Structures are given as C-alpha cells and as structure tokens.
C-alpha cells in the first residue's frame, strides 16, 4: 500500500515520449513533479477524456515543473495510435504484466454487468521532485480531476 511521504516505487517501462519508443523510469524525471496516472484502455471514452484533459492542461502543468506519465496494459502500437489520434504530448507507458499497476495499487478487483474481474482502476499518483509520494487519487472520476491535480502542485 502506498503512503504519502514514502519513496515512490521504482519502475522502468517501455513507452512512447515525443514519438520515441524507449524505456522510461521514475529516475528519468527526478527534479520534476510527476503525475503518474493509471487508466484502463487506450481510445475508450473515459480514458480519452482524461488524456485530453491532461493534454489541454500541459501549459499549466509545465509552469509547475510537472510531467505526465500515463500507464495502461495496452501495447506500444496501441499507445502510438492513441497519441497520434489525439495529439498527446506526454508519455504513455506499457505495463503488460501489471507489475507497476500492482505496485501503485491500481490493479484491483472490478465488476461490470454482474461479473467480477481484475483490471486497472483509474488512479493518479502525484510524486514530488525528490521521488516521494505527495498525493494519491483512487477511483478517479474524470470530470474535474485535472483541476484537482493542478491545484495539488505547489507553485
């Protein structure tokens, strides 16, 4: 379980940033606020809205020295299409074996139409420039979430 003030769990995942495929880890972003958000699936309505809200707020986030990293189980090819379709200017990382989702508490039991299954629960973790957990949002409701995140990052 994650704790506010604790060191954020280390990760290294394949992903895309500015059109470049590579391996990205938390240490690559030390010195910046990291908005690590976990989402269920590329190019679905709620996930698209969330990604576009982050995209549309990049100026405000950049002014606060923040970067956005999206994480899902989707493969790189899916991330490539999602980034291109919506002009997403931040990294999308692939966690096919859900290890990072599990470390950050985003891999949970869910239910839909009476069926129970494991999946990614929409979760956002704000990590401070020193690599410590500053804030955690679980079961994120997309509407209004971006403003909560922006307001949580000190100037």
Query: What per-residue confidence (pLDDT) applies to 109?
Result: 85
Q: What does the pLDDT average to over 35-45?
A: 97
| φ, ψ for residue 94, nearest 5 deg | -105, 125
Domain chopping of the chain, boundaries:
34-152
- Rounded to two decimals, the pTM is 0.94
Which residues are CB-contacts of 78 (< 8 A; sequence separation ≥ 6)? 42, 43
State the residue for tokens 């969330």: 50
Query: How many C-alpha atoms does 113 have within 13 Å on its Cβ side?
Result: 0
Task: Report pLDDT digits (tens) over 46-86.
Answer: 999 999 999 999 999 999 999 999 999 999 999 999 999 99
Residues marked as catalytic: 47
Query: What per-residue confidence (pLDDT) applies to 132?
Result: 97
**What rounded mean pLDDT belongs to the chain?**
95
What SS3 state is found at 48? Answer: helix
Task: Report pLDDT digits (tens) over 91-116.
Answer: 999 999 999 999 999 999 888 788 88
Instruction: Please state, in angstroms and rounded to a whole number, the distance separating the CA atoms of residues 36 and 100.
Output: 11
> Which has the higher per-residue pLDDT, 110 or 31?
31
34-152 is classed CATH 1.10.10.10: no
Query: What per-residue confidence (pLDDT) applies to 155?
Result: 74
């Amino acid at each position: 379980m994650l704790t506010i003030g604790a060191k954020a769990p280390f990760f290294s995942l394949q992903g895309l940033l500015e059109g470049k495929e590579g391996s990205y880890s938390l240490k690559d972003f030390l010195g910046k606020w990291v908005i690590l958000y976990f989402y269920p699936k590329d190019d679905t309505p709620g996930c698209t809205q969330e990604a576009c809200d982050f995209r549309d707020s990049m100026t405000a986030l950049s002014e606060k020295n923040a970067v956005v990293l999206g994480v899902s189980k989707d493969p790189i090819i899916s991330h490539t299409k999602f980034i291109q379709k919506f002009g997403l200017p931040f990294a999308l990382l692939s966690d096919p074996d859900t290890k990072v989702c599990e470390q950050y508490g985003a891999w949970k039991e869910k239910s839909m139409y009476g069926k129970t299954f494991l999946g990614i629960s929409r979760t956002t973790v704000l990590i401070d420039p020193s690599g410590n957990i500053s804030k955690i949002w679980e079961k994120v409701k997309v509407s209004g979430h971006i403003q909560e995140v922006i307001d949580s990052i000190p100037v």
